[in-house]
Structure 1
């Protein structure tokens, strides 16, 4: 198949009587087939939404979170990642052989802003690789591609959150040159609380902020 694909181009460089040479066919086919399998990474498309949701479910299991806490739907992902107002971006790594292409993970990121540095910040929200493809350089593909995106957007830094029990992830990230920031603690206000405050115009006087 690969030989037939290359044949039109070869016509310009090799005499026709040599094109059907078994030796030439063997050399070209063995060389092209030896380049597989490969790993590559690409931007997600709307067609990837079902597999992104599947990977989010797998990630919840890996992070020891109840799957029932995952409320996002395909409709949400399609609207917010691929709609008119894009709130996040997604990259998909793939395992590629001569006859198949398999999505093997995902990462979701978006941009925030550093008021202290006057530059954008790339925040990685999720990063996941299927267990059977770990340890094969896929995380490095993620790192390199995300760094290219951050550099192209003149970002001051890249940031993400890590569960405190995930020492394996800490070791990998520190090997990349990242560092922990122990002086910060993540604070969250759940939706039901923010809605309560949003409907309350009273002024609180119990803080010095």
Structure 2
């Protein structure tokens, strides 16, 4: 049975939650995942949220997630890739590329959206993978202003 890519639906909330937590734990950032299964059900029903699941021989193998947002300079939407994750035992089988190509198909059907994302500069394997897909790799500093930090300034 080949690898199948499909859109996640609200009934997949527990599986998506499991995969997201696996990725966060893999990156030693599991403590930052606070989303709940109930919230995933809501997110998976939101048209702006895309989560594609890969199943290899009927077993969950990975996912890609993205959110549509407006790019104010162009007035057009972009698709902000949030995560691409393939479970370790499925790596090297082309599943990451299949997920990215299916995400690209979805973007192409929706007004030729640009897909954007970030990654750690130390993640050279990801950089090689994305470059092979034809992605442009730009260096940029990603800033985050957490609620606890900015609320103290108010």
User: Normalising to structure 1: TM-score of the pair?
Assistant: 0.68
Query: Counterpart in 2 of 1:41?
Result: 5
CA contact 2:8–2:44 (8 Å) conserved in 1 = no
- Cross-structure match for 2:125: 168
Give, in whole Å, the separation in 1 of the partners of 2:12 and 2:35. Answer: 15
Count the aligned residue pairs: 154
Cα deviation, residue 86, structure 1: 4.4
CA contact (8 A) 1:89 1:108 kept: yes
Q: In structure 1, what is the equivalent of residue 114 of structure 2?
A: 157
Offset, 1:63: 1.6
CA distance in structure 2 between the partners assigned to 1:117 and 1:192 by the alignment? 32
Give 1 or 2 for the bigger CA radius of gyration: 1
1:113 pairs with 2:70: yes
TM-superposed deviation, 1:106: 1.2
1:78 and 2:41 aligned: yes
Aligned-pair distance for 1:136? 0.7
Deviation at 1:110, TM superposition (A): 0.9
Q: Is the 8 A contact 1:90 1:109 kept in 2?
A: yes
Match for 1:55 among 19, 24, 33? 19
Number of the residue aligned with 1:191: 147
DSSP-derived class of the 1:151 partner: helix
Unaligned runs of 5+ in 2: none
Whole-angstrom CA distance in 1 between matches of 2:44 and 2:110? 18
Give the structure with the higher percent strand.
Answer: 2
2:109 matches 1:146: no
Runs of 5+ consecutive residues of structure 1 not aligned to the other structure: 1-36, 201-209
Residue matched to 1:68: 31
Structure ranking higher on relative contact order (CA contacts 8 Å, 6+ apart): 2
Does the 8 Å CA contact 2:5/2:55 hold for their aligned counterparts?
yes
Q: Which residue of structure 2 aligns with residue 104 of structure 1?
A: 61
Give the alignment's Cα RMSD to 1 decimal: 1.7
